Structure 1
Amino acid sequence: MDVLVLIGRILLVGLFLSSAAGHLTRTKAMAGYASSRGVPAAGPAVFASGLLLLAGGLSVLLGIWADLGALLLAVFLLPTALLMHAFWKETDPHVRQNEQVHFLKDVSLGGACLMLLALFSYAGAELGLTITGPLFDVG
Structure 2
Amino acid sequence: MDVVVLIGRILFVLLFLSSGFGHIAQRQTMAQYAQFKGVPMAAIATPASGVLLLAGALSVLLGVWADLGALLLVIFLVPTAVLMHAFWKETDPQAKQTEMISFNKDIALAGAALMLFAFFAHTGTDLGLTLTGPLFSL
Q: Do both proteins adopt the same fold according to a TM-score greater than 0.5, normalized to the shorter chain? A: yes
- Displacement of 1:64 in angstroms is 0.2
Q: Which residue of 2 aligns with 1:97?
A: 97
Q: Which residue of 2 aligns with 1:16?
A: 16
Runs of 4+ in 1 over 3 A off after TM superposition: none
Matched position secondary structure for 2:137: coil
Structure 1 unmatched ranges of 5 or more: none
- Displacement of 1:104 in angstroms is 0.1
- Displacement of 1:127 in angstroms is 1.3
Give, as a single letter, the amino acid of the residue that structure 1 aligns with 2:90: E
CA RMSD of superposed structures (Å): 0.4
- Displacement of 1:117 in angstroms is 0.2
Q: Which residue of 1 aligns with 2:47?
A: 47
- Displacement of 1:60 in angstroms is 0.3
How many residues are aligned here? 138
Q: Distance in 1 between matches of 2:107 and 2:93?
A: 21
- Displacement of 1:49 in angstroms is 0.2
Q: Which residue of 2 aligns with 1:127?
A: 127
Q: Which residue of 2 aligns with 1:36?
A: 36
Q: Which residue of 2 aligns with 1:106?
A: 106
Q: Which residue of 2 aligns with 1:69?
A: 69
TM-score, length-normalised on structure 1?
0.98
TM-score, length-normalised on structure 2?
0.99
Q: Distance in 2 between matches of 1:132 and 1:68?
A: 11
Give, as a single letter, the amino acid of the residue that structure 2 aligns with 1:102: S
